[in-house]
Structure 1
Amino acid sequence: MKFGIFACIVMVLVTCLASPAFATGTGDVAGAVESTWADASAQIKSVVNNVVFPAIDLILAVFFFAKLGLAYFDYRKQGQFEWAAPAILFACLVFTLTAPLYVWDIIGLA
C-alpha cells in the first residue's frame, strides 16, 4: 500500500517536473548534443581540475602517509621494511598530482 502511494507520487512529480528536450529547428540532434557539449566541457574541466583531482590527491596522500607509518612500525617489530604498498601509493599520488597537466590533451579538451 505504501509503495503504491510512493510510486504514484513519484510518477506525478516526474510528469510535472520533466521538460522535453527538442533539437534546434532542423531536427539535428547531433548538432544539439555537440553544442551542449561545447558549452559544458569548460565547466566539466574546471570542476574536475578544482574538485575531483584535489580530493583524490588528498585521499591518496592520507593513505600514503598512513601506510608509510604502518610500514615503519612493522619494520620496528620485524626488522624488515616493506616498500611495495608505500611505493605504489606514492606513484599513484604523483600520477594524480600531475594528471591535470596532460589528461585533457589525451581526452581532447585542451
Structure 2
Amino acid sequence: MKKRKKLLLILCITMLLVSIFGVTAYAAPSGDVAGAIEGTWTAASQQIKTVVNKVIFPAIDLILAVFFFAKLGTTYFDYRKHGQFEWAAPAILFACLVFTLTAPIYIWSILGM
C-alpha cells in the first residue's frame, strides 16, 4: 500500500510539472500548419546548412578516412600473406570518401537550398 501511494504521488507530481511547463503551440490563427512548418524551415535552413557543412560532413569524412586507411593496411597485409591484392573494399571506401568530401559543393543545390 505504501508503494502504491508513493507511485501515485510521483505520478501526480509528474503530471503537475508537465502541465506547468508544457507550452501549447499554435500554428497560426487560421490553423495553417503547413505555413508554420515552412516558416520555421525558412528561418532555420541556413543554420542547418552551416552545422551540416562544418560538423556532420567533416565527421563522416574522418570516419571514412580512418576506415579507408585501416582497410588499405589490412589489404596490404593480406597481399603479403596470400599474394593477391583485393581492391574492392578499399575502392568502395575511397569512392565514398570522395563523394562525402565533394558533397557540400553540390548537395545544397540538389536539395534546393
Pair 1:75–1:13, CA change in 2 (3 A): farther
Task: Provide the aligned C-alpha RMSD in A.
Answer: 2.0
Q: Which residue of 2 aligns with 1:75?
A: 79
Q: Shift of residue 27 of structure 1?
A: 3.0
Structure 1, 24-33 or 58-67: larger mean CA deviation: 24-33
Between the aligned residues of both structures, percent identity stands at 68
Structure label with greater radius of gyration = 2
SS of residue in 2 equivalent to 1:23? coil
Residues matched between the structures, number: 107
Correspondence 1:44 to 2:83: no
For residues 41-100 of structure 1, what are the alpha-carbon distances to aligned partners after superposition, in whole Å with 9 as ceiling and x for unaligned?
111111111110000000000000000000000000001111000000000000000000
Q: Shift of residue 11 of structure 1?
A: 4.1
In structure 2, runs of 5+ residues without a counterpart are: none
Aligned ranges for residues 29-68 of structure 1 at < 5 Å? 29-68=33-72
Q: Shift of residue 25 of structure 1?
A: 3.3
Supply the AA of the counterpart residue of 1:33.
I
Structure 1, 13-22 or 72-81: larger mean CA deviation: 13-22
In structure 1, runs of 5+ residues without a counterpart are: none
